[in-house]
Chains A and B, each alone.
Chain A
Amino acid sequence: MSNADVVARRNEAKGRGLVGWALLLILPILMVVMELAVFAAEPSVLSPRNVVNILNQSSYLLLFASAQMVVILTRGFDLSLGTTVSAISVASALAMTGLADSGAPDWVVVAAGLAAGLGFGALVGLFNGIFIAWLEINPFVVTLGSLNICLGLATTISGGRPVFNVPDAFSTLLYNGALIPGISIPLMLAVMVCVFLYFLLDHTVFGRSLYLIGNNPRAAHLAGLPSKRYLTLAYVTCSLLAAFGALMLTARTGSGEPNLGGSLMLESIAAAVIGGVSLQGGVGGIIPVILGSLFVTMLSNAMDLLRVGGYAQQILLGCVIIGAIFLDRIRVSRT
């Protein structure tokens, strides 16, 4: 990496110039234009109900994309995210239905479900992190391996069938309960995660170190940062966030689904990168992830309303991914 490159990155990561801000607004502008264009054909897109719908939908993707962002910052990515979600959905559902059958009280059952899910997530994160940080194996290979392992686990322990009868208390807690009237639980949780990540990334040594590790691993090492420990911790954070999202999705469907994570891995990477998180590492944050997830959700919502078929949607999404990354390249080279 050239010196100018580093300087440019640093400028982007810290204070943005006027041009930087204008370019940052490309995505919001695109979103507004898109919604207005769809509004002309299908006015219901801006109805309060649909807007609330978009916000709720995007909160799941937001979680997975922010999980992905934490490791993309360090020049890695997590291919296993989707199948981890599936495995956690099944594992937590099995833990809960098993306990519920034996007549345990509701709170024990729900606590066990949460513990099983988060524990499984932490394990996957540790596996990824240890192989990537300590054995220095490429993240692609390691997470490709854990992708297969989790896929196998998800289908084996469930027998390939959904696990039904997840207790209602669990769904109330993470999906349809009402803590604050008018705001859905998923949205509330997503906002909480955003605030948490904002502080983690911007106001802790660990968070700031992730940027340096991604930007210049050698410098991070020479600066005396415990890079390996932080890198491992980044993967654990990623998998824990994914686990949290998996629990929320399980609460929504009310069953443990062995295919729950199907397209999530690619969607989460796409949302993060469309928002402006760089796959070269060192550039990103929670705001780009929010923008990216909202954009992807709005796009598919608009296509749904315009009755674009699922297959055609897939084609369009592919074009949008390439287009968005191209815009991002221009942005980076301009700053």
Chain B
Amino acid sequence: MGGRTTSDLASTSSSDRLYRAYETVGFLPIVLVTLVAILALFVPHFLAVQNIFNVLRSSSYLVIMAAGQMLVLIVGGFDLSVGAVVALTSVSSAMVMAGLKDSLADEPGIIVFLGVAAGIGSGLAVGLINGLCVAFLRISPFMVTLGSMSIATGVALLLTNGIPVYGMPKVYVDAFGRGLWMQLPTAVYLAAVIVALVWVMQNFTRMGRYIFAIGGNLQAAIVSGVRTKTYLVLAYAICSVLASVSGLALTAQIGSGQAVISSQLTLESIAAAVIAGVSLKGGVGRVEMVTLAAFFLLILTDAMDLLKIDPRIQTIFLGIIVVLAVAVDEMAKRRTPVV
């Protein structure tokens, strides 16, 4: 098909324009808005301030993790270890802070700094192992991250024997974990900053374009002189570090280091990315969509909580929704003519 002439454009009906608007924003925002409208009308307390806070806070953790997961998916990989990284971060940061509690009692700032460094450091270590194995040993990402998941979970459990680690500075828990800045939970700002950074990275930096290129066509990327291995390692490292950041925020909110923090986080992060249209084949994915998808998942969970639906049945719903969302997306894509 050639270019449209001006008369073509002028004569486009309003339904056409609507369709084009739909094409640019996609399926997800519409579903999300509809969902919120329905829930606001029919579910009592959905619009209560406390509830909105809860949704925002819990989606922040998922948004941060899903943004990282998205980067790895874009380079055509997978990260099954993010949940384990959250657990490892939680345990290592809490243990460092608890260990320094007595010797540095007057310097909570240093304690927090070292604890955060330990948490991020352990995440970075896992990410580097993942990335190096995938990029240089060319092992399937599924198996590498399956292995590192097992290792990280094992280390977290071994360090704590499965017992929660208490003794983090009060200021860390109260100001960061459970605190409000300008009426909003701190984790929301953290998530917003991270989404903004990833967005800028994806849209305005060479690295962002290289990451898309690697996932879109690895051979072409290599031939064009992209240092693919470096960027592969970077994608895995960033993913793990973001999981660590999420783990730190979660730990601060809970108030203790937990080795069994949540087994569902990994699958949820992948589900959010996939619902957002991130292709498991690589090369496609936008962080703003992933953010919306994470909201979508948590709003749905929250609504089911408010409606007092048994959490066990909620799992069934979530399963169906993940499959349906992707199925509908797939159908819509196929209907769009390839020009």
Contact = CB atoms under 8 A, between A and B. Distances in A.
A152 B140 contact: no
22 contacts: A135-B330, A136-B330, A137-B327, A141-B323, A144-B270, A144-B271, A148-B315, A152-B315, A156-B316, A160-B312, A279-B143, A315-B151, A315-B155, A317-B154, A318-B146, A318-B149, A318-B150, A318-B151, A319-B147, A322-B143, A325-B139, A325-B143
A148 B154 contact: no
Nearest to B142: A279
Contacts of B280: 138, 140-141
Q: Most B CB atoms within 10 A — which of A279, A280, A315, A317?
A: A315
Contacts of B155: 311, 315
Interface residues of A, number: 45
Interface string A247-286: 0000000000000000000100110010000011000000
Nearest to B157: A311
B323 A142 contact: yes
B312 A148 contact: no
Contacts of A141: 274, 280, 322-323, 326
Interface in A276-335: 279-280, 309-322, 325-326, 329
B137 A314 contact: no
Main secondary structure of the interface of B (DSSP, over half): helix
Interface size class of B (residues with CB under 8 A): 35 or more
B319 A321 contact: no
Given A144-B319, A160-B312, A273-B140, 9 more contacts: A135-B327, A141-B323, A149-B316, A279-B143, A311-B155, A318-B146, A318-B149, A325-B144, A326-B139
Interface of A: 77, 131, 135-138, 140-142, 144-153, 155-156, 160, 266, 269-270, 273, 279-280, 309-322, 325-326, 329
B147 A152 contact: no
A156 B313 contact: yes
Contacts of B151: 314-315, 318-319
A105 to B, nearest CB: 34
B267 interface: yes
Q: Most B CB atoms within 10 A — which of A141, A270, A329?
A: A141
A19 to B, nearest CB: 20
Contacts of B144: 322, 325
A146 B148 contact: no
A153 B320 CA distance: 12
Contacts of A312: 154, 158
A131 B320 CA distance: 12
B133 interface: yes
Interface in B288-339: 310, 312-320, 322-323, 326-327, 330-331
A136 B151 CA distance: 34
Contacts of A147: 267, 319
Contact of B154 (A131, A135, A315): A315
Q: Most B CB atoms within 10 A — which of A146, A149, A270?
A: A149
Contact of B150 (A137, A280, A321): A321
A228 to B, nearest CB: 15
A149 B320 contact: yes
A147 B268 CA distance: 12
A318 B139 CA distance: 14
A42 to B, nearest CB: 22
Interface in B91-106: none
Interface in B150-202: 150-155, 157-158, 161
Contact of A148 (B148, B153, B316): B316
Given A138-B280, A156-B316, A329 B154 contact: no
